[in-house]
Amino acid sequence: MDGVFETERLIMRPWSPNHWPAFCALHFDPDVMADYGGPITELECRRKFDRYLASWNEFQTTRFSVEDREGLFLGYCGVVFRPDPMHPLGSHHEIGWRFFRDSWGKGYAMESAKASLVYAVQILNLRSIYAYTSPDNLRSQAVMARLAMIRRQDKDFTIPTLHIPQWQGLVWMVDPAQFAPESMNTR
């Protein structure tokens, strides 16, 4: 499988080297990275990009590049495996998204998250997928609610990040029953 998905308005694909400049620009934008405490460094960008490449190569899942039908990079969305037993959730699958500010409010996060979850649940047969965000990221929380994710206050955690010594993660869990195979087109 080549990992290219099409939704009604979007094309989602695994990362390639030509995505690197846009990936960095996304992570250097203070508005986009506000929930994380601000932009990340180029080194941290490289680590994240490499993590997403490795996730696709090892597990056939990643944060996919999300583009419009004309090929304009809008952001990313998808499920990654976090093989980190020291994380407060242990090793786990996590869905997440990040889009350029001019793509906010257009439903791209919802559309791409739904396609990512259909793929993860129906094709990869994943049953335990988390999502988490900061308490002030109301946009992401709204997407999680529209995806009918289950709020798991018992799993909330606090960890240090590059900019925030005590970043608080509010946790949701995917209900696999919400994602039917007919919701996704692949090519």
Res 187 pLDDT > 50: no
Residue identified by tokens 């609610």 is 145
**Which has more confidence, 178 or 70?**
70
> Residue 106: CB partners within 8 Å, gap ≥ 6?
none
pTM greater than 0.85: yes
Residue 6, classed as helix, strand or coil, is strand
Phi, psi angles (nearest 5°) of residue 78: 160, 180
pLDDT tens digits for range 20-40: 999 999 999 999 999 888 999
Q: Tell me, what's the pLDDT at 186? A: 44
The span from the CA of 187 to the CA of 179, in Å, is 19
Residue identified by tokens 């996730």 is 55
Q: Tell me, what's the pLDDT at 164? A: 80
The CATH number of 5-130 is: 3.40.630.30
Shortest CA distance to 151 belongs to which of 160, 159, 140? Answer: 140
pLDDT tens digits for range 163-181: 788 989 999 999 888 885 6
Residue 83, classed as helix, strand or coil, is coil
pLDDT tens digits for range 80-133: 998 889 999 999 999 999 999 999 999 999 999 999 999 999 999 998 999 999
